[in-house]
Each structure stands twice: as structure tokens, then as C-alpha cells.
Amino acid sequence: MGWFDPVALQIGPIAIRWYALAYIAGFVLGWRYALWLTRRTTLPPDRLALDDFLTWAVVGTILGGRLGYVLFYNFDEYLQAPATILEIWKGGMSFHGGMLGVTAAIILFAWRRGFSPLLLGDVVAAAAPIGLFFGRIANFINGELWGRPTDLPWAFVFPSGGPLPRHPSQLYEAGLEGLLLFLVLLPLAASARIRSKPGIILGTFITWYGVSRFLVEFVREPDAQLGYLMGTDWFTRGQELSLPMIVIGIAVVIWAARRPAMAAPATAPASSAAA
């Protein structure tokens, strides 16, 4: 039996890929979920702010993800051919870079609208696992980012991974970073009490993702151009980038939990005004 076709629909020369559909599904469903969350609290951001921020989130994710991959994973190759940086359709996106891009978008957008970036960060973090889930499923369909060889019964032989069965590390990440993280954040995000202490949800997201990614990297094949780091046979770039996330995430949760609860605004938040 052949592998999955990465092209979902072909119309003449136009190919619609599952990876693109995964991004669209992640953004649209994440946005709708974020709108649902805002109806459960009187704290900003409101619907208008989230509608406007969607474009910022898309740009931050794509630009940050691409630049992160260039800088963290394949800088020397792109330095020799800078024009290929724009060839996003050939693959090469970094979650850590995408997160930095979205973080910058959150800070700038919240500053322009006059509310705490942590309030928007909590909402975005609660919705982010939806996009992560679809993205990792798309990685699996594409037969990329596979795991290390194994003889476990649920192993797969990937088209570009040689003849050996390998860990479906994409599915592990879809479960840990997507489904389970969403379920962990759901009761926190739906709680007005937790939302009144901005940063708890965001910090929980950062910590959980960092731990999950660090663990999955033990069975995920490292990038060929990097291999293992620091002279080890196990430490990868993904783990190197995830360690600071764990520390930062825990610190944010502790700091946010110790702060006094934020009171709801007496009037409509500034985010209701057009920028």
C-alpha cells in the first residue's frame, strides 16, 4: 500500500496540499475557539480585537516559523542561497521561531490596543494546541519529521525514511502538544478566576510544550544537517530550544499566580475601538 498523497486536491496546475489545509484549519478553528473563550469573561480582548489579531497571528506564525528554521536549523545553507528563504512551499518551518513571531505580534498588537499582552497571550495559548494538532497530522501525511528506527508494532516505514520501521513521532507530538495540551488548558481557559490572573495559561502552555517536545525528541530523528549536539548521541536542537521554554514557562506561572487578580473594566475595553 502506498503512502498518503500530500496533495489533497489537484485542479490543473493548482495543487492544494494537506499541509496548507492544516494551517487554515488551525487558524480558523483556533480563532473560533478564542471567540468562545472571550464570551466567558469580561476581561479583554473582545471579539473585535480577536478578529483583527487573526491577520497578525498568521503573519507572525509564518514569518517567525520560517526565519526560525533558517536561523536555528539550516543557516549555513540559506546563507549561501538567500533567495531560497522565500521558497516556503518546499518546507522548513520551526515551531520555536513561530512562537517568537506570534509573541512579537501579541506584544505589538496589545500595546496598540491598550491592554496587557498577557491577556491576549492567554487566549492565543489556549487555542494554539488546535493548530499544533493539525500541523503534526500534516507532517505525518507528508511523511516528514519521522522518528528513529524501532521494532514497536505501531512503527511505520516512511517513504523518505529508508527501509526501517520508525517511530511515528509526528503522531506522538499531535497527541501531546495538540490533544492533551488542549484538554489541560481547557478548564483553565474557561475559568474566569484563572483568566483574571494573566499569564497562568500562557506559562502552562509554554511549560507543557517544552516538556513534551523534549521527551519526544528522544525518539525523533534529528535533522540530518545538524545531527546530535555537544558530542552526545541523544541531545538535539529541539531539546536545546525546549529547555529554556520549560524554565520560562514555570517562572511565568509562579509569577502570575502570585499577582493579585485583575478586575474587569468598568467600561468597554480600549480594544473595542478601531486601530
Binding residues: 136
SS3 state of residue 134: helix
Domain boundaries, the chain: 15-265
DSSP annotation of 17:
E
| Residue 156 pLDDT greater than 80, yes or no | yes
- Give DSSP secondary structure letters for 164-216: S-B--HHHHHIIIIIIIHHHHHHHHHT-HHHHTSTTHHHHHHHHHHHHHHHHH
> What mean pLDDT is reported for the chain?
90
Q: Which of 89-98, 104-113, 116-125, 266-275 has the lowest mean pLDDT?
A: 266-275
| For range 115-141, the mean pLDDT | 95
Q: Using an 8 Å Cβ cutoff, are 24 and 40 in contact?
A: no
Q: Which of 84-93, 113-122, 124-133 has the lowest mean pLDDT?
A: 84-93
Q: Which residue has the cell 528506527?
A: 149
Name the range with the highest mean pLDDT among 49-53, 96-100, 201-205, 263-267.
Answer: 201-205
Q: Which of 196-210, 236-250, 256-270 has the lowest mean pLDDT?
A: 256-270
What's the whole-model pTM score?
0.89
